[in-house]
Amino acid sequence: MYASVPHFSSPYFYSDPTHSTFFGLYTLSYLIAGVPFRRRVPRYRTPLAFELQEISLELRSERPFYGRHLLKRAISRLVNLRRGFQEFYEENLVWILPCYEIQFVLERIDGPSSA
C-alpha cells in the first residue's frame, strides 16, 4: 500500500477543508508492529497486519516559487537519507522548514499460520 498524506506542519493542511487528519513520522507507529524508529509509542489496539517498508518526508513549494522548491527538494533528500535524520528533522526543524507531505509504503504481512 502506498499512501501520500499531508504532514502536520504543512501550511496547506490547515487551509484545505477536506483534510481532517494530520500525519507525522510516528502516526503509523501506533497502529502497526515493528516500526523502525528509536522513539517508542504506546499501542492502543492489536497491530494491523502491515509492515512499514519506506517512509519519506517531502518538502516542496508550489509555483511560482521554483528557487524555494529546488532548495526544499535538496533538503528532503538529505532528511530522507536516514531514519535518524528524519526523527531529528521532525523534532527540531519542522516548524522552521515545514514539510509538505509524508509518504508511506506498507506491505501486508501474513498472520500466524493455522496449520
For residues 42-59, give the mean pLDDT: 89
For residues 64-78, give the mean pLDDT: 92
pLDDT at 19 over 90: no
Which residue type does 26 have?
A: Y
For residues 1-9, give the mean pLDDT: 92
Do the beta carbons of residue 52 and residue 34 sit within 8 Å? Answer: yes
Q: What is the mean pLDDT of the chain?
A: 88
pLDDT value of position 115: 43
- Grade residue 113 by pLDDT with cuts at 50, 70 and 90: very low
- Grade residue 111 by pLDDT with cuts at 50, 70 and 90: low
Helices (H), the chain: 11-15, 66-79, 83-92
